Amino acid sequence: MVKMGHPASGIRQVHYTPPSAAVGGIEVNTLRGIRDRGGPREFLDPQRLGFDLLIRIDRGSALHTVDFTGYQLAPGDVLWVRAGQVQRWGRIDDVEGRVVLFDSHAVDDRTRELITAHAVRPRSHWPAAELAGSAVEQLLDLLRTSAERSVADPGPLRQAALVHALALLLVELTVVVPLGSAPPPRPTHEAYGWFRDHIEEHYDTWHHVAQYADRLGYSTRTLNRLARQNTGLSAKQLIDERVVLEAKRRLSHADGSVAEIADQLGFDDPSNFSSWFRRHTGTTPAAFRVTSRRG
């Protein structure tokens, strides 16, 4: 990992830099290893990751926050922080375990699309009890072995084995069913996935359903139907939900003024943004900033 300064959003971006040319785009390490490499200050501030991070806790416990959701990690748990999410480490010195850092395009496009489309809302945390009986532990061992061999013999076959081992692990995690619940709902139509992807790309400039409908070639009625079928929310609610998340990220973790954040998120007037934010969250941007930072 390497620090990349503060972009316009003010949230510190962290991009992945391989420790050596032999490692490539998939690194299997330990929490101790990345602590030693990053130094004690690397893990104090919130980070927006430019890569995917997978953690498997072997010993200890700590609270790890991903986009305002806190996960109390314990031995056997797995956490997957995806590129673009904002995370905050807890007491990283209190835990030991395995870590996988990888570029989101390290896995082939087809597998990545299947993983993304499997559930309406992707998971971040798998408690140890839910992983019992799965092949996650064995696949973590396979991934570690593949990584060691690809470093020793950085040929195309070894690299292919490493990529496939990672894909197997991510697929196995994706199909784990939460305890005591039905399998997570899956998208009913591929257009819902396209709509979700376009929201992620354009939420800071497109706030109206018609803009997405025009780009995707569907009517606003169709996008609303797909949104409600998959999430129970309207298409506009999904767009607003994503903008609210980004607004919260920047208010909580960045130092830009409310006016600057309003402009970054595509609002033409700070007062319009403040009214919109209050309507969707029940509090003003300034009040949310104070409360979140106290927390």
Mean pLDDT by runs of 10 across the 295 residues of the chain is 48 81 85 91 90 97 96 97 94 96 90 84 92 95 95 90 96 85 69 92 96 96 93 94 96 92 95 96 95 81
CATH topology of domain 190-294: Arc Repressor Mutant, subunit A (1.10.10)
Q: What is the pLDDT of residue 5?
A: 44
**Sheet strands side by side (includes 69-73):** 2-3, 13-15, 47-49, 86-88, 62-66, 69-73
Q: What dotted CATH number matches 2-174?
A: 2.60.120.280
- pLDDT for res 6: 43
d(CA 176, CA 17): 30
Angle (nearest 5°) at CA 258 between 253 and 259: 135
Q: What is the pLDDT of residue 141?
A: 97
Closest of 33, 141, 52 to residue 92, by C-alpha: 33
Beta-carbon neighbour count of residue 86 at 10 Å? 24
159 contacts 104 by C-beta, under 8 angstroms: no
pLDDT of residue 99: 97
Q: Determine the pLDDT at residue 187.
A: 67
User: Where do the domains of the chain lie?
Assistant: 2-174, 190-294
User: Looking at residue 3, what is its pLDDT?
Assistant: 45
Q: N- to C-terminal Cα distance for the chain?
A: 27
Q: 45 burial class (0-12, 13-18, 19+ CB within 10 angstroms)? A: middle
Detail the DSSP E strand segments found in 82-146.
Answer: 86-88, 95-102, 125-126
